[in-house]
């Protein structure tokens, strides 16, 4: 159960990365669409791009809230493994840019992980 919560926590931290991937994939599909034509009007192009990126923007907006849930799981989960430590550090790093809410989540997560790093790094990898 604790390992499943650790996986859920890292997925919740990774929603930011998922939003970036969704945005890139949507732009690629827009560029490959045979019905998409680029005219001389930059307003039309900007409107088309913004329409394509709506779902990525929604995911990006909710990502600090999912990171907050991931941080709560991290704080109360007793599972300790190296991969959990490193992936939580890496995937919580972008939230430093979401001032003030995301920055607080970033600070709490990194503070907790750095303070308890010995319990994560000294454990054998439980599977």
Each domain of the chain, given as residue ranges in start order, spans: 2-121
Q: What is the CA radius of gyration of the chain?
A: 19
- Extract long-range pairs of 107-114: CB within 8 Å, 24+ residues apart: 108/71, 108/75, 109/13, 109/67, 109/70, 109/71, 109/74, 112/71, 112/74, 112/75, 113/74, 113/85, 113/88, 113/89
Report helix, strand or coil for 21.
Answer: helix
pLDDT at 125: 56
Condensed to tens digits (0 to 9), the pLDDT of residues 67-92 reads: 999 999 999 999 999 999 999 999 99
pLDDT at 31: 84
CA distance 83 to 104: 23
- Positions in the chain short of pLDDT 50: none
pLDDT at 123: 67
Q: What is the DSSP letter of 99?
A: T
Q: Which residues, at least 6 apart from 99, have a Cβ–Cβ distance to it below 8 Å?
A: none
The model's pTM is 0.81
pLDDT at 40: 79
């Amino acid at each position: 159960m604790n390992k499943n919560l650790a996986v859920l926590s890292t997925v919740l931290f990774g929603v930011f990365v998922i939003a970036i991937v969704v945005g890139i994939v949507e732009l690629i599909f827009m560029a490959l669409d045979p019905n998409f034509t680029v005219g001389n009007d930059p307003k039309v192009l900007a409107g088309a791009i913004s329409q394509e990126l709506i779902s990525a923007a929604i995911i990006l907006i909710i990502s600090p809230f999912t990171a907050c849930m991931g941080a709560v799981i991290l704080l109360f989960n007793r599972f300790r493994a190296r991969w959990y430590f490193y992936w939580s550090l890496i995937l919580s790093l972008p939230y430093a840019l979401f001032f003030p809410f995301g920055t607080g989540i970033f600070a709490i997560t990194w503070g907790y992980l750095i303070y308890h790093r010995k319990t994560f790094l000294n454990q054998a990898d439980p599977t």
